[in-house]
Structure 1
C-alpha cells in the first residue's frame, strides 16, 4: 500500500474515533446515529454545486448503500440494548474486515498476499482481544448482543463493498461520496419520521451543534475511506480503518483519564503490528 493512502486512512480512523467520542449527547443510540447521518447529509448537500453529477452506473450502488445504512443503524442500536460500548464496538467493527476480505477477493478483482492476510488477521485479533478482555473485568457475552453486533458487521461489510464498487464505477470518489451522504441523509430523515414520528425532530433540535460537528467529521472520515478504496484493495482499507479503536483508546486515556490495563496494551501491540505488516507486505 502506498504511503499516501496509508496515512490518509489513518487520518480517517482518527476522525472516526473523534466523532464517536464527541457524541455523548443524551439521545438514544438510534436517534444519535440518525442525527449524525442527517447532519452529514446536510453538509454534503452544500457541496453538490461544486462536484460532478454521478455517472449512471454509480446510482444503484448509492441507493443500495443508503438502504444498507438503515440496517446498520438499526442493528447497532439493538446491540447497545444488550451490551456496552466496550464490547459492541470492537466486535462489530473488528468482524467486518474479515467479511470484506473474504467477499472482496471472491467478488471483486482484489487480491491479497500472504503477508497482507497475516497483517489483517493480526489486526482483527487485537480488536477482538480488546473486546473480550480489554476492560477491568470481562463481561459475559450474551446471544442477543452477539447476534446484533455480528449483523451490524454484516451491514458494515455490505455498504463498504457497495461503496467501493460504486466509487470505482463512478471514477470520481469525491462526487460519489457527496451524493451518497446527501441521499443517505434524506433516507434517514424519512426513516426517523416513519418510525418515531415528526415530533422526533424536536428531540434532535437541541443537539444540532454536536450533530453538525459529528456529521462533518463522519463525512470527512468516510469520504477519505471511499477514495482510498479506489486506490488500494478494499480489504486493506477496511481493516486499517478499524484502527480507530486505537485512537478511541488514546482519547479515553488522555481526556477521560481511563486506565490502560496490560491486556489492552497487548491488544494495541497486536493492532499496531498488524498495521505495520499490511503497510510493508
Structure 2
C-alpha cells in the first residue's frame, strides 16, 4: 500500500444531515494528510444488544445517502452487510463490503460478497484465533476474489470484555493480504451497559499506535460529532473535532515504521 489507508465514519446512519456533516469534515482530513480514505457508515445494525435499540434507516434509504456522499464529496464508501441478498445491491454503491465479526464464518454471506468483485473487509470474530481466518480467506479466493482485507477488532476475554493481542495482526499478515486494525470496536465492552454495549474510548489512540507499530496496514475508526448522544456505539467513538489531532499523532508512528 502506497498511502496510509483509513476507514472511518459514524457507526450507523442516524440522518442524512449527520452523515453529510461527518463526510465533509473527513474529506478535509483525508485531503490534508493525503490518505487512501473510505467513508464508513452502516444502513442497518442488525446485531444490536437490545431489540429496542436504533438500527438505522434500512438498505434503500441508507444506500441513497451513501450514494450522495460518493457523488457530492467524491469519497469512496464502506458499509457492512448481514444477509447474502444484500451483497449485489450494496455493490452498486460501495467500494468495500464489510463482513461483521459475528458473521465471518457464514459461508453464504462470504461467497455472495466475494462474487461482487468488491474489496471484502472481514472482521475477525471475537471468538476466533487469528490463524483460523485462513479458512475465511480461502472462501473468498475460491469465489474468484482476491481483493481481501482482514480486520482485527479484539478477542473475547471473560464476560463483557475484549482484549487485543497484537501478535494476531502479525499472524493474519502471513496470508498475504492487508490487515486493518479496528481501533474503536476493540475498546468495546459488549453488552457491558445492560441493554447497550459499553466501552472506553481512552484506549483508542494507544491501540491504533500499537497496531501500526507491529505492522497493521490500515486503521478503522468510528467518529461522531457527539458520541455521548450517538444512537449506536457512543462509548467507543472518537469525537469528530478531536479526530484530526489524534490521527496526526498516529501518522507519526506510521511514518516512523515505513
The alignment's TM-score, normalised by the length of structure 1, stands at 0.26
Name the structure where strand makes up a greater proportion of residues: 2
Structure with more contact order per residue of length (Cα contacts < 8 Å, sep ≥ 6): 1
Larger radius of gyration: 1
TM-score, normalization by structure 2? 0.28
Q: Which has the higher helix share?
A: 1
